Amino acid sequence: MASAIDIRQLTKVYDGKVNALDGVDLTVKAASIFALLGPNGSGKTTLMRILTTQIHPTMGLARAFRYDVDKDDDKVRKIIGYVPQEMSVWTDITGFENLLIYAKIYGVSSLQRKKAIWDALQNMGLEDVANGPVKKYSGGMIRRLEIACALLIKPKILFLDEPTLGLDPSARKAVWENLRSFKKEYGTTVFFNTHYMDEADLYSDEVAIINQGKIVKTGTASELKRSLHGEIISFCLANNGTDSMHPSTAPLRQDLNILTKIRALNFVNDATVHDSVMDVAVENGEIAMPLIIDVLRSEGISLQWIRSTRPTLDDVFLKYAGMRHMQDQSGYHYGI
């Protein structure tokens, strides 16, 4: 697949001493959604500023559809849209008027302006509020208006710096649903920075983690999660004759027998039992879970509950960036 962005050994040193980017290599596929994750100060905004031609790299090369972002900046600006983290619309005028100003800035011809504006409003689901003052919009509507402004020229690459920061889950969903349908219609490549791991997980085709100016991991969200370890399935064994007043004094002989049987299964990496809860490490929980349940049932074991815990993107972030971004959201419960 053709690439939309190609970055080779990109370096940015501020004031001769701050190594904001330290030899970044990155490829973003055309028509994909790409998420850049990294702790504060890791170089995300610096990279986005170079790619959007706002600042020069110190060394290295970055191309947007074969245009050098440093040397062919005029050409690059014609094919990209950019929504900064800070507010980029005027609140005392209407949404339509904001788009009109941007259409003039972007040089959309007067003949095409009206259609381009209504297309952008429709793409972001804002037709009904277009003629209302922006100061009456919700945070989510303002963000959609800012994105609509960036979509006026139907960019080949859309850069979004923290597109949904501070929005509630339904407003975030609305932003992404509109973005996804726009991307589907026009084949736009979307490159975004985010602090929301679940958002990167749900909406991106590929993820890169940047730390101290270096790309430390790239892949799809599933690949990154799988790269940590498989899945832990916890089975709470129902009271199988234990002293219910002292369930944790020692694993039952029966439990130990079962443990041996479970460990012998070729798709099981490990199994432990504690307080009547058996944790089984497997690569693929969907396949393993029913087979383990069969073994337990054949041994006359009944179960109180089953819980599956998969590594999250937050765990991946913890490993490669050395910290957590958001609270862990792992843990899927299955009722019995």
Ligand X SMILES: Nc1ncnc2c1ncn2[C@@H]1O[C@H](COP(=O)(O)OP(=O)(O)OP(=O)(O)O)[C@@H](O)[C@H]1O
Contact 200, 313 (CB under 8 A): yes
Binds 18: which of Mg ion, ligand X, none (CB < 5-8 Å by kind): ligand X
CB of 53 to ligand X, least distance (A): 16
Q: Does 18 bind ligand X (CB under 6 A)?
A: yes
From residue 138, how far is each of 120, 126, 172, 176 by CA, in Å?
18, 12, 12, 16
Q: Does 14 bind ligand X (CB under 6 A)?
A: yes
Query: Which of 5, 34, 37, 45: binder of ligand X (CB under 6 A)?
Result: 45
Q: Which is nearer to Mg ion, 207 or 271 (CB)?
A: 207
Q: Which is nearer to ligand X, 102 or 317 (CB)?
A: 317
The closest of 135, 10, 149 to 68, measured between CA atoms, is: 10
Q: Which is nearer to ligand X, 42 or 308 (CB)?
A: 42
What is the spatial distance between Cα 219 and Cα 208, in angstroms, rounded to a whole number? 7
Rg for the chain, CA atoms, rounded: 25
CB of 36 to ligand X, least distance (A): 9
User: What is the maximum alpha-carbon separation in the chain?
Assistant: 83
What is the spatial distance between Cα 145 and Cα 158, in angstroms, rounded to a whole number? 14
What is the spatial distance between Cα 141 and Cα 48, in angstroms, rounded to a whole number? 24
Query: Which of 7, 34, 37, 38: binder of ligand X (CB under 6 A)?
Result: 38
Q: Does 52 bind ligand X (CB under 6 A)?
A: no
Query: Which of 32, 46, 53, 194: binder of ligand X (CB under 6 A)?
Result: 46
Strands 59-64 and 157-161: unpaired
CB of 39 to ligand X, least distance (A): 7
Residues of this chain that interact with Mg ion (CB under 5 A) are 44-45
CB of 131 to Mg ion, least distance (A): 34
* Structural tokens at position 324: 């957590």
Q: Does 285 bind ligand X (CB under 6 A)?
A: no
What is the spatial distance between Cα 88 and Cα 175, in angstroms, rounded to a whole number? 16
Q: Which is nearer to ligand X, 45 or 276 (CB)?
A: 45
Q: Which is nearer to Mg ion, 45 or 194 (CB)?
A: 45
Tell me the CB-side half-sphere exposure of residue 30, using CA atoms within 13 A.
Answer: 13
Contact set with ligand X (CB under 6 A): 14-15, 18, 20, 38, 40-46
